[in-house]
Amino acid sequence: MLTAQRIVKTYRRKRIIVCLALAIATLLLTTGVRYLTERNRNDQRVTLFTARAVATVESLLEPLAAARSALFPLVGQPCENVEGPLRVETARLQTLRAIVLVKDGVVYCSSIFGSRNEMLRQLQPKLPSPYPQMLLTRDNSLLKGSSVLIIWTPTSPDGQDGILQALNIELLARLMLEPARPWVDHVVLNVGDVHLEYGKGVVQSLPGEPGLETREGVSGRFPFSVTVIGPPGDRLALKALPGQLPLALILSLLIGYIAWLATAGRMSFSHEINLGLAAREFEIYCQPLVNARNQQCTGVEILLRWNNPRQGFISPDVFIPLAEQQNLIAPLTRYVLAETASQLHHFPVSPHFHIGINVAASHFHRGKIVEDLQQFWFARQPSQPLFLELTERDALPDVDHRVVRDLHQLGVKLAIDDFGTGQSSLAYLEMLHPDVLKIDKTFTAAIGTDAVNSTVTDIIIALGNRLHIDLVAEGVETAEQAAYLRRRGVTALQGYLYARPMPLHAFPAWLETHPDAENKKNGAALGAAPLR
């Protein structure tokens, strides 16, 4: 059986778990999205950098290719005739270091040195060649040891004649191939199997560092490529992730708070009660009341039971107070009225057999109880009189005397349930003019003891007799208690001595077999009798 504290804790724990789960999911989703976004952005930066580096080198080589057609006629002419035009062309193309003319494999004219007579193969072992060549090497003539890019263009079928253009590629690389940290650590220009690394000059192998990624961009117009080396995009994204955490935490806390507000209705006991009402999970029970003198059943008290398929059996001592706290006691009362009214055939059709239904003090507000009785009870035109048993868990608000008057005019009798406990006071007697006082079972259990409650029981009985109010004792479990209450003028008795709460459909069978010691002696069965 569940307790109120356990139920409240269960729902609160569920809400906390849901809200925390949503907050954590939001945090993970936000950081995950930021991580993926940052990683993709890093990859795009490296891709764009690589493409831009290739395009930059291509932009350097395009003017050289356009100028070579103007140099073809100069090959074979005397150096003194072409030396001037070579220098002019070199000056015009600022990226060039020198232009060299080759005839029969011999370097015979240079834009820098003028007339020369050297074998080209001694200067560049791979030249001359019948095919165009692009070589990345070190300069051995002008700036010895510096990096130079040589472009060989043959002008004869055998490749012994041609034009050699030399670029100061190391200087240009410093200007246009600078790494973009932190995304790019190394930029390398590749020509054949020779490499030019930014800041290091010509190297024979690519730089290799553990944990770095390599990306290569190949030119579609010239025989070179650019290799870009840097940290993986996911590593950079992880490194930048702590900077995104404050915003992600704020967003996750906001989502968690919104979820807490949103689940207030969906994940609360009020939602569970509404769900139980909609699914008709509540079952109507009754417990008989017997006349203290002749032991005949004079009526029943309607009770509510809830076997929740999600939580198990929930005691009325648990869900009734919680329903009052959640302002759902009125819907529960309407449910009881409607269900009981639809099953009146289980009870004797007699004006001397009453039906008692518990109502909360809050239901009296603005005469709501009168409206609900008209709709759910009197619309069925019951023959049995109705007793409203006012529970005392909450203080009774100021009651409009017209509400009490209307109830009496409808023939409804008022009873104060559990009198002497809760919020009851003598002011209730004047305010409500009750017809019945129900003695709480704690006082009944104290009969025959020296406890204070035993004395209070006698005081309540004396008060009811003095005011001519019928008395009903709850929780009667022994014959000694019944005899004590009968001697002191208690009108009716209710408790396990006579019957436990039972479903309505079981009441007719109980009524037929109800044991009555006096009737057994007399051999007669008495009809239902009023309280007095």
Say what the pLDDT of residue 528 is.
Answer: 40
Residues 81-101: tens digit of each pLDDT: 888 888 888 888 777 888 899
Say what the pLDDT of residue 519 is.
Answer: 42
| Residue written as token pair 């009108």 | 491
pTM metric for this prediction: 0.56
Residues 173-230: tens digit of each pLDDT: 776 677 778 888 888 888 888 888 877 778 777 777 777 888 889 998 889 999 888 8
Say what the pLDDT of residue 398 is.
Answer: 57
- Identity of the highest mean pLDDT range in 32-46, 199-213, 446-460, 493-507: 493-507
Sign of the dihedral through C-alpha 60, 63, 66, 68: negative
The first and second tokens of residue 147, run together, are: 């990096």
* Domains in the chain: ranges and CATH: 271-516 (3.20.20.450)
Say what the pLDDT of residue 130 is.
Answer: 92
Neighbours of 247 (CB within 10 A): 12
Mean residue pLDDT of the chain comes to 83
Residues 310-326: tens digit of each pLDDT: 777 888 887 888 788 77
Residue 1 predicted with pLDDT over 70: no
How far apart are the C-alpha atoms of 99 and 466, rounded to whole Å? 133
DSSP class of 528: P
The first and second tokens of residue 102, run together, are: 């080759």
What is the SS3 assignment for 76? coil
- Written as one letter, the residue type at 44 is Q
Say what the pLDDT of residue 270 is.
Answer: 73
- Which range, of 29-33, 167-171, 489-493, averages the lowest pLDDT? 167-171
Residue with the larger pLDDT of the pair 176 and 24:
24
Residues 6+ positions from 154 with CB-CB distance below 8 Å: 128, 129, 130, 131, 132, 160, 161, 162
Residue 425 predicted with pLDDT over 70: no
DSSP-assigned states of every residue in 353-368: -EEEEEE-GGGGGGGH
- Written as one letter, the residue type at 147 is S
Q: Residue 453: how many CA atoms within 13 Å on its side-chain side? A: 14
pLDDT band at 450 (very low <50, low <70, confident <90, very high): low
Residue 239 predicted with pLDDT over 90: no
Neighbours of 342 (CB within 10 A): 12
Sign of the dihedral through C-alpha 134, 139, 141, 143: positive
Residue 452 predicted with pLDDT over 50: yes
